[in-house]
Structure 1
Amino acid sequence: MMIAEIGDIIEFKEGLQGIVEKVNENSVIVDLTYMEDFDESVMQEKTVINHKRYIILNNSKQD
């Protein structure tokens, strides 16, 4: 299992995406305002996602 790092873009729960702001032992805190349609949705700006529940779309360390 790959664990996301700060700045990575992840996808979870049927297509939601966000930028990792903090990495915890079992989860990450994600900023959801990254999504283009965030203003149209009714959700919090941040959420906590377990490491088992996301995939990394864009690694912040890529060259």
Structure 2
Amino acid sequence: MKIAEVGNVVEFKDGLQGIVEKVNENSVIVNLTFMENFNELEMEEKTVINHKRYKILYSNED
């Protein structure tokens, strides 16, 4: 399992996407305002995602 790094774009939970702001031991903190439809979703700006629950779409190495 590849762990995301700060600045990576990840996808989780049925297509939601965000930018990784902090990497913890078992999870990442993701900023969801990256999504174009963020305002329509009525969600918090940030969320915590376990490393097992996301996939990296864009990394700093691409």
TM above 0.5, yes or no, is: yes
* Cα deviation, residue 61, structure 1: 2.5
Tell me how large the CA RMSD over aligned residues is.
0.6
> What is the identity, as a one-letter code, of the residue corresponding to 1:3?
I
Shift, 1:39, TM fit: 1.1
The percent of aligned pairs where both chains have the same amino acid is: 69
Runs of 5+ unmatched residues, structure 2: none
Any idea what the Cα deviations from partners look like across 1:3-61, whole Å, max 9, x if unmatched? 00000000000000000000000000000000000011110000000000000000022
SS in 2 for 1:52: helix
Aligned residues: 62
Runs of 4+, deviation exceeding 4 Å: none
Written as runs of structure 1 = structure 2, the 5 A alignment for 1:1-63 is: 1-62=1-62
> Structure 1, unaligned stretches of length 5 or more?
none
Q: TM-score, normalised by structure 1?
A: 0.95
